[in-house]
Amino acid sequence: MIKQLSEFVDKLSYLADQISEFTTQHAAGIHRITDLLAYNPNEPLIFSTGLFLILFLGFSFVYMCLQNKLTARLLFVTAFSYYFYYKSSGFYFGLLALVTVSDYLLANLIYRHRQRKALGKLFVTLSLIIDLGLLGYFKYTNFFVGMVERMLEHNFQPWDIFLPVGISFFTFQSLSYTIDVYRGQLKPLPSLLDYAFYVSFFPQLVAGPIVRASDFAPQIRQPLTITRDMFARGLFFILIGLFKKAVISDYISLNFVDRIFDNPGLYSGLENLLGIYGYALQIYCDFSGYSDMAIGIALLLGFHFPLNFNAPYISTNITDFWRRWHISLSTWIRDYIYISLGGNRKGKIRQYFNLILTMLLGGLWHGASINFVIWGGMHGVALAVHKLFSQAY
């Protein structure tokens, strides 16, 4: 007995030595893998990277294994979506959880007290304060404080505030849910898991399109079905989006646009003009390419997203352009800002004012910079002028 015990201990010792030797020999590789999977602000997890392809293949295998297990599938996708966001913004995924839980609870309170308008208004206002408060702090604090400091002729040093990736998208998406419930256009989702799945669904989490709960919620608990047509269209959207993003946009940016924008004085007027047109092509291919990949990945998972870009550069006028460019945002600001301001229901002058104010806010949504505000204002004025002449003639 003692001899057998001694042999067993020797075997354990040998096994421990082998594990230690293996770990020592492969420490660099293990360290590389852990670094690859951990958050790195310089290497976010985006669709056009090899790491995402590897992770998505593993994800797809587990996803299909859970095809007939709804709750487990929702939990798995939500967990992967939070990891996807962690790879983009680190532990700021807590903000995503905060927005999710608060808006889910508030939407339920709004619906429960739907006969009491004052309470409903209070709860939807609280949702606006939480969501826009987070967005305002992380995205616009330095912009507004800097403006005040400059007006006071103080030397302003920007505060060290990290901007979580995609916060503009998931706050707007979550806000549309509580507002729709308040307006009586939508019933609350049946569980927090359903809502967390909707808000965090990784294909559209960090760069859109902004998917409404009214479009997405009915798909959550449907049987998982991926037809041949969905698979083919999903693959097509992914390939065309990857070509736009990784081939056209990145190539133009590195080899043409950036060089001209960095040193415009070194180039002729024609070359600078071509650089401007090149930049227009770059931002379109970058943004629409990523949206196309999001739509394609969602189709491969059995979900339908709305089209986000529809050949905007063939538009015949400024109004047509905004029906084709970033459609999910333009319809969002139309439905939740322009219409809330009164739309065209309070006379033509008020309509033009509403258009300009809406586009000013839309410009600010794109970036915390006076340039974006001016850009939004110019588009608002152009929309108002086009509306004026189209109504007159």
As annotated, the active-site residues are 366
Helices 117-135, 167-182: inter-axial angle, 10-degree rounding = 180
Helices 70-89, 93-112: inter-axial angle, 10-degree rounding = 130
Longest dimension (CA), the chain: 104
What are the φ and ψ backbone dihedral angles of 161, each rounded to 5 degrees? -115, 120
For tokens 């736009």, the residue is 244
Long-range contacts, stretch 73-77, CB < 8 angstroms, 24+ apart: 73/224, 74/193, 74/194, 74/197, 74/220, 75/193, 77/197, 77/201, 77/202, 77/301
Neighbours of 275 (CB within 10 A): 20
Q: Closest Cα partner for 207 from 293, 105, 133?
A: 293
Residue 384 near residue 352 (C-beta atoms within 8 A): yes
Please, where are the H alpha helices in the chain? 2-25, 27-37, 50-65, 70-89, 93-112, 117-135, 141-151, 167-182, 192-200, 213-220, 228-242, 250-252, 258-262, 269-300, 318-324, 327-333, 348-366, 370-392
Neighbours of 13 (CB within 10 A): 10
Residue 337 near residue 317 (C-beta atoms within 8 A): no
Q: How far apart are CA 340 and CA 126, in angstroms?
A: 17
Residue 209 near residue 310 (C-beta atoms within 8 A): no
